[in-house]
Amino acid sequence: MSTDAYRWLMTAPQAPMVRQSFQAEPKAGEVVVAVAGCGVCHTDLGYLYDGVRTNQPLPLALGHEISGRVVAAGEGAQAWLGRSVIIPAVLPCGECDLCRRGLTTICRAQKMPGNDIQGGFASHIVVPGRGLCEVDPARLKTAGLELAQVSIVADALTTPYQAVRRAGVTPGSLAVVVGAGGVGGYCVQVARAFGATVVAIDVDDSKLAAIAEHGAALTLNSRNLDAKAVKSAISAFAKQQGLRGTEWFIFECSGTAPGQLTAFGLLVHGATLSVVGFTMAKVELRLSNLMAFDARALGNWGCPPEHYPAALDLVLDGKVQIAPFVETRPLDQINDVFPAVHRHEIRKRVVLTPQ
């Protein structure tokens, strides 16, 4: 089955996207997904504006937060036909030594839409059929959500979900999330769903006010506080709430150098520092603090596809809210949306929907 589609291809910062038609023919094990929505992620901005290199040479369609419906399938993948799905932002091969040992996030043959293969700012996308996350339309309707909206589960939700799960957050824990917009906002909600009491830190009062209604027990604007004052405020809050002053779970989600410095400065004895955000900026740290506090630091790249259903369940069960933090725009507005998001003129996660 051939599918005629249009892609918006990244070529250069002066002309971020151009339209190009193509014929999509799935090979064995592949599917063609008619895109319902594709979220605009900070990573996309990094590729376009900040010099982050894609693995596939340009021109390349960006976009890795994708939901849609399978409209064609190659041999061995026909069972997906007609199903609504979320495409994992990182698709491991499932066959290499790393995958066989459960280390799928570092599979060296992994495929990331908008990086290794053509991405989701398109009407259709061809991807491997392995690892797709099925979305039950009935549950989606009950939750009051559209298929396009849950596209952000592919990264903005599952990446912090993996970070929280991997860090070992349990009921009674104290979690501190640095950066309360986008990914950080979902990190707050996921940590709360895992039973933690959550502190959110940001420099934007509007983001802090929004997340205070969705899981943050304490919000702090670090623009008004130095590092020592931030840590003292959290320590006082922990004591007041009867929480431990050790073993904090710290999630750096801002993707900024100041945010990384703030997060590292919050280390306490037995702490776990999870780096979720990304920046090209460099920071100077005293790594010996990890030794002195007997703490650990974890990097987080995506989420294994097998954990997507559990993350999606949090949304469909109402434990994590996405609708208040998402807005949809037509895909043909992409050349206006990208610079607007880059200038921080749009507060919510934009999901672009093909016409």
Q: How far apart are CA 137 and CA 146, in angstroms?
A: 9
pLDDT digits (tens, 9 = 90+) for 103-138: 999 999 999 999 999 999 999 999 999 999 999 999
Q: For residue 154, give the 3-state DSSP assignment.
A: helix
Q: Which of 282, 299, 316 is the last residue of a domain?
A: 299
Q: How far apart are CA 291 and CA 35, in angstroms?
A: 47
Q: How far apart are CA 63 and CA 121, in angstroms?
A: 5
Give the pLDDT band (50/70/90) at residue 51: confident
**6 pLDDT higher than 60:** no
* Closest listed residue to residue 187, CA positions, set 209, 161, 210: 161
End-to-end C-alpha distance for the chain, whole angstroms: 21
Q: Which amino acid is at 314?
A: L
Q: Which of 283, 299, 315 is the last residue of a domain?
A: 299
Q: What percent of the chain has pLDDT over 90?
A: 89
- The whole-number pLDDT of residue 109 equals 96
Q: How far apart are CA 34 and CA 331, in angstroms?
A: 13
Domain identity same for 135 and 32: yes
Domain identity same for 12 and 137: yes
Give the pLDDT band (50/70/90) at residue 10: low
Element (H, E) at 228: helix 227-240
Q: How far apart are CA 228 and CA 209, in angstroms?
A: 23
Q: How far apart are CA 46 and CA 342, in angstroms?
A: 9
Domain identity same for 166 and 294: yes
Which two three-digit tokens encode residue 131? 């690892």
- The whole-number pLDDT of residue 224 equals 86
CATH no. for residue 164?
3.40.50.720
Q: 40 near 337, Cβ under 8 Å?
A: yes
Q: 49 near 161, Cβ under 8 Å?
A: no
Number of domains in the chain: 2
Q: Which of 255, 272, 299 is the last residue of a domain?
A: 299
Instruction: Identify the residue whose tokens are 């790393």.
Output: 98
Domain identity same for 120 and 168: no
pLDDT digits (tens, 9 = 90+) for 145-163: 999 999 999 999 999 999 9
Domain identity same for 149 and 193: no
Whether omega for the bond prior to residue 330 falls within 30 degrees of 0, making it cis, is no
- Judging by DSSP bridges, how do beta strands 296-299 and 124-128 pair with one another? unpaired
Domain identity same for 147 and 285: no
Give the pLDDT band (50/70/90) at residue 9: low
Q: 40 near 66, Cβ under 8 Å?
A: no
pLDDT digits (tens, 9 = 90+) for 316-352: 999 999 999 999 999 999 999 999 999 999 989 999 9
Which two three-digit tokens encode residue 4? 């005629």
Domain identity same for 290 and 349: no
Give the pLDDT band (50/70/90) at residue 12: very low
Instruction: Identify the residue whose tokens are 């750096």.
Output: 252
Q: How far apart are CA 282 and CA 115, in angstroms?
A: 23
- The whole-number pLDDT of residue 235 equals 98
Q: For residue 136, give the 3-state DSSP assignment.
A: coil
Which two three-digit tokens encode residue 67? 């939901």
- The whole-number pLDDT of residue 23 equals 59
Domain identity same for 207 and 286: yes
Q: Which residue has the higher pLDDT, 355 or 286?
A: 286
Which two three-digit tokens encode residue 78? 């026909």
Domain identity same for 105 and 235: no
- The whole-number pLDDT of residue 292 equals 98
pLDDT digits (tens, 9 = 90+) for 33-45: 999 999 999 899 9
Domain identity same for 225 and 123: no
* Domain boundaries, position 279: 158-299
CATH no. for residue 342?
3.90.180.10
- Using the 8-state DSSP alphabet, how is residue 263 labeled? H
- The whole-number pLDDT of residue 25 equals 83
Domain identity same for 124 and 31: yes
Q: Average pLDDT of the chain?
A: 93
Domain identity same for 235 and 175: yes
Please state the separation of Cα 307 from the chain's center in Å. 14
**313 pLDDT higher than 50:** yes
Q: 25 near 4, Cβ under 8 Å?
A: no
Q: Which residue has the higher pLDDT, 11 or 67?
A: 67
- The whole-number pLDDT of residue 212 equals 97
